């Protein structure tokens, strides 16, 4: 979609000032390339701006943080900087149920599931793709959740693992009865597991 | 490895009687093609024999059952008809720990993990590959385990989902501390979850 419109500089060289949509797309295209090439940790907001030929303030203006750029560039279906504070504000005993319902809402939507599956697929054969996803998950999700709650990272990962596995069985392999189980059935089945890990 | 040696009939037509290794490989190549094309449920041992141009008794002689052919043809890293009776013979309270250790042994071996990941990758974009895996998992694993134990299929799938997710985080994304956690740490963390689902 954005291929070939990567560099804002090229567009200006054509003598026309790029509009906000073109600039935004140029930043995202530059970001996708840098994340794939240097990983999440190896990419800075400043370096993305440089590659897109724009001022870093503009990247900040459009996307807030590096995390925000990543979420948009990779079409990551949820912004951890928005979701995590919501989860952390909940009474601890409602965490399990809310996480199950949140995963079901995101994965139940084919448009939001597709980019996740694409990333996971890449990570299965390509170490750079794996590194990018690992670094994003570690920095944006696990580190922050662990710091805010005091729950050990290993426990958070066991909980995330439970949800990833159930999502794969339900939405990728579509094994029955998992594929047709109701949201409430899955809450009853899986939420106590998450409570045990995160409680 | 076996490409181009698919049909026993072709080999005989060249005037040379195929040896047992060639026949075996021809059967496996025919089986791979049929499983991919017709799914697991849509493929019979007899049809595989026909496609390979051999007698069904020979397929039975080499591989026992359709399940045995599948395990060999897809390099599935474990034969459920061998593993399940071992698990079912255990005292129920040791099931969680044994399953965790079994998954770690299989996924910890890159050669056994590779074909599983390849199948999972295919299932993520290809509905036929997903169907093949779904049917095999349902018939060979879940159906049999459910029938023998009386544990609801949904519970068995929640347990399998827990293990698949943890394996992906540990061996594919290699997120820390999951990637470096010891076998005993993972048993302590995850076995109680499996016991809850399967107990």
* Chain B residue with the nearest C-alpha to that of A169: B161
**pLDDT value at residue A79:** 87
Which residue reads 């010891």 in tokens? Answer: B182
Furthest-apart CA atoms within chain A: distance in Å: 61
From B87's Cα to the closest Cα of chain A, the distance in A is: 21
CA distance B26 to B8: 6
- Closest partner residue to B137 (CB to CB) among A173, A177, A196 is A173
ipTM, interface predicted TM-score of the complex: 0.85
CB distance from A143 to chain B under 8 Å? no
Statement: residue B151 has pLDDT above 50: yes
Mutate which: B157, B177, B186, B188, vs A, most A CBs within 10 A: B157
Which overall architecture, per CATH, does domain B8-73 show? Answer: Orthogonal Bundle (1.10)
pLDDT grade for A14, boundaries at 50, 70 and 90: low
Q: Are A100 and A186 in contact (CB under 8 A)?
A: yes
- Closest partner residue to A134 (CB to CB) among B174, B177, B192 is B174
CB contact under 8 Å between A164 and B160, yes or no, is: no
pLDDT grade for B159, boundaries at 50, 70 and 90: very high
* Chain B residue with the nearest C-alpha to that of A177: B154
Residues of A in Cβ contact (< 8 Å) with B142: 175
* Chain B residue with the nearest C-alpha to that of A196: B193
- Closest partner residue to B173 (CB to CB) among A123, A165, A185 is A123
Statement: residue B7 has pLDDT above 70: no
**Mean pLDDT across chain B, nearest whole number?**
88
CA distance B146 to B77: 21
CB distance from A172 to chain B under 8 Å? yes
Three-state SS across chain B? CCCCCCCHHHHHHCCCCCCHHHHHHHHHHHHHHHHHHHCCCCCCHHHHHHHHCCCHHHHHHHHCCHHHHHHHHCCCCCCHHHHHHHHHCCCHHHHHHHHHHHHHHHHCCHHHHHHHHHHHHHHHHCHHHHHHHHHHHHHHHHHHHHHHHCCCHHHHHHHHHHHHHHHHHHHHCCCCCHHHCCHHHHHHHHHHHHHHHHC
What token pair was written down for A151? 């729950």
**pLDDT value at residue B9:** 40
Task: Write the CB contacts of A120 (distance below 8 Å, at least 6 apart in sequence).
Answer: A133, B124, B168, B172
Mutate which: A161, A171, A177, vs B, most B CBs within 10 A: A161
- Closest partner residue to A134 (CB to CB) among B163, B173, B185 is B173
From A118's Cα to the closest Cα of chain B, the distance in A is: 8
CB distance from B199 to chain A under 8 Å? no
Residues of B in Cβ contact (< 8 Å) with A185: 154
Residues of B in Cβ contact (< 8 Å) with A164: 164-165, 168-169
Dihedral angle sign, alpha carbons of residues A74, A67, A37, A138:
negative
Statement: residue B132 has pLDDT above 70: yes
Q: Does domain B80-198 have CATH number 2.60.40?
A: no
pLDDT grade for B14, boundaries at 50, 70 and 90: low
CB contact under 8 Å between B161 and A138, yes or no, is: no
Q: Are A121 and B125 in contact (CB under 8 A)?
A: yes
Q: Which of these, A127, A13, A117, lies nearest to A75 by C-alpha position?
A: A117
Segment B192-198 mean pLDDT: 97
- Closest partner residue to B162 (CB to CB) among A153, A161, A177 is A161
Q: Domain spans of chain B?
A: 8-73, 80-198
CB distance from A155 to chain B under 8 Å? yes
pLDDT grade for B10, boundaries at 50, 70 and 90: very low
From B148's Cα to the closest Cα of chain A, the distance in A is: 18
Task: Write the CB contacts of A129 (distance below 8 Å, at least 6 apart in sequence).
Answer: A36, A119, A122, A123
pLDDT grade for B2, boundaries at 50, 70 and 90: very low
- Closest partner residue to A163 (CB to CB) among B138, B160, B165 is B165
pLDDT tens-place string over residues B52-106: 999 999 999 999 989 899 999 988 988 888 899 999 999 999 999 999 999 999 9
**pLDDT value at residue B13:** 47
Statement: residue A147 has pLDDT above 50: yes
Residues of B in Cβ contact (< 8 Å) with A130: 172-174
Task: Write the CB contacts of A25 (distance below 8 Å, at least 6 apart in sequence).
Answer: A1, A2, A5
Statement: residue B124 has pLDDT above 90: no
CB distance from A114 to chain B under 8 Å? no
Which residue reads 């567009």 in tokens? Answer: A11
């Amino acid at each position: 979609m954005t291929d070939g419109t990567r560099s804002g500089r090229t567009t200006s060289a054509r003598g026309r000032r790029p509009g906000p949509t073109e600039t935004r797309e140029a930043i995202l295209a530059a970001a996708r390339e840098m994340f794939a090439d240097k990983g999440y940790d190896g990419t800075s907001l400043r370096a993305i701006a440089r590659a897109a030929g724009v001022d870093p303030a503009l990247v900040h203006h459009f996307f807030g943080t590096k995390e925000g750029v990543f979420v948009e560039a990779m079409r990551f279906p949820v912004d951890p900087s928005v979701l995590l504070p919501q989860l952390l504000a909940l009474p601890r005993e409602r965490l399990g149920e809310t996480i199950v319902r949140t995963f079901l809402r995101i994965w139940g939507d084919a448009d939001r599931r597709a980019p996740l599956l694409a990333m996971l697929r890449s990570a299965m054969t390509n170490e750079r793709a794996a590194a990018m996803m690992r670094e994003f998950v570690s920095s944006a999700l696990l580190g922050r959740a662990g710091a805010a709650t005091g729950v050990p990272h290993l426990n958070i990962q066991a909980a995330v693992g439970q949800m990833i596995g159930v999502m794969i069985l339900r939405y990728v392999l579509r094994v029955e009865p998992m594929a047709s189980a109701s949201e409430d059935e899955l809450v009853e089945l899986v939420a106590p597991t998450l409570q045990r890990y995160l409680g």
